[in-house]
Amino acid sequence: MKRKKPLSIAILLLSALLVLTFSLMYVFAEPVSPYIKVLPEETSDSTLTPGNYYNISIYTDYDGSDVWSWQFELTFDPAVLQGVQVRNGDLITTIKDASAVFDSGDFDNTLGELSLTVAYFAYDSPPAPTTSGPGTLAYVDFTVVGYGFSDIELSDNTQLLDPAGFPPIIGADWHPDQIGHAYFRNLHPGDADGDKYVGSADAGVLNGAYGTWRGDPLYVRESDFDLDGYIGSADAGILNGNYGITFP
């Protein structure tokens, strides 16, 4: 990697501190329990270079004993991640009841979509088999194919159901605040614009978002290098430490 002579960003930090003085604090809200969310919620790992595998799980904290079915779809950036396979989790399985059915859905790695993925207990007459949470709906495996950022978002079809079916125990259409999405980045810290070079353009992005919290309209997650939900002096220090570096 190449290092140019670092440029001072003292002016950047000074102006940013002024922004911070007048900033409002925005609180990032976790999904409301009971929820279905993607784990890990945030990944920033520059060692996940193209050719590596990346794995997530779809998890619910619901602790009731009336779980009969679940379903979800998700989207991702196909320029960064490509779907490989979906594996059943531990919530609805044949170990719990022999009638369990699992459909892994299909990846569209051009559009960056995983189609409807479902599991349920099949039955001919009541009572329906059920199981208890919390648990993992499914594991989703990706291959890293590029550098950049990717939101991993669950669709409005995400649901956790009891035998009645409606209203759902958890339903993204009805209660989107019960759904938790995820974020993946494999760029080197300090590279906010994804060009593999840490320079003035990245400093400009950080400066525009300095002093903001996650949830603020001015917050730019690509500049939150330490993923703590706040863009401040720690992020500026990371950028300054890598300033002038071109990464391979």
CATH topology of domain 47-185: Immunoglobulin-like (2.60.40)
Average pLDDT, the chain: 89
Full-model pTM: 0.82
Tokens of 166: 């409606």
pLDDT surpasses 90 at 24? no
Q: Could you give the percent of the chain with pLDDT greater than 90? A: 81
pLDDT of residue 194: 86
pLDDT surpasses 50 at 87? yes
pLDDT surpasses 70 at 73? yes
pLDDT of residue 13: 40
Q: Class for domain 2-28+188-246, per CATH? A: mainly alpha
pLDDT (average), residues 22-43: 76
28-37 pLDDT, tens digit per residue, is 468 999 999 9
Least trusted range by pLDDT, from 151-160, 188-197, 232-241 = 188-197
> Hey, where are the domains in the chain?
2-28+188-246, 47-185
pLDDT of residue 150: 96
pLDDT (average), residues 92-118: 98
Tokens of 201: 């353009």
Least trusted range by pLDDT, from 26-30, 69-73, 177-181 = 26-30
110-168 pLDDT, tens digit per residue, is 999 999 999 999 999 999 999 999 999 999 999 999 999 999 999 999 999 999 999 99
pLDDT (average), residues 197-205: 94
Q: Which among 195, 225, 233 has a CA at the least distance from the CA of 14?
A: 233
pLDDT (average), residues 232-236: 95
Q: Classify 148 in phi/psi space as left (phi over 0), alpha (psi -120 to 50) or beta.
A: left
pLDDT of residue 29: 64
pLDDT of residue 60: 98
pLDDT (average), residues 169-198: 94
